Amino acid sequence: MSTPLHFPATSSPLYCLDDETDAMALTDQMSARLAQLQALLAMTYGDAGDAFRRMAQSHRDDYLWACYMIAGEVRELGDALLVQRRREAGLNA
């Protein structure tokens, strides 16, 4: 597969998926990263958001940047999953 994955902090690929990566592994990684993102974002609103709003501005910026980077990784994993599923469908057809 060798799908290059980027991050907002870099202009070039940071790592590539292994050629042996299958759809289940991609789905598992996406699920894990989405669960982490959901937990991070849950701390930014409502009663839990009070602690977030009391953070220093630079910490809030870094916190939200981490959320942004996770969302970007999930988007790239989703793209890689579509490619892998098409590849698997072509092999099984």
Is residue 15 situated within a structural domain? no
Is residue 7 situated within a structural domain? no
Is residue 1 situated within a structural domain? no
Is residue 23 situated within a structural domain? no
E strand or H helix at 10: none
pTM of the full structure: 0.80
pLDDT at 9: 59
DSSP state of 9: T
Is residue 4 situated within a structural domain? no
- Residue 48, helix vs strand vs coil: coil
Domain that holds residue 49: 35-82
Cβ atoms within 10 Å, residue 84: 20
For 34-53, what is the mean pLDDT? 96
Q: Which of 91, 85, 90 is nearest to 3 (CA)?
A: 85
Is residue 57 situated within a structural domain? yes
Count the domains in the chain. Answer: 1
Beta bridge partners of residue 84, listed in sequence order: none
| Res. 58: pLDDT tops 90 | yes
Better-scored residue on pLDDT, 63 or 8: 63
Mean pLDDT of the chain: 87
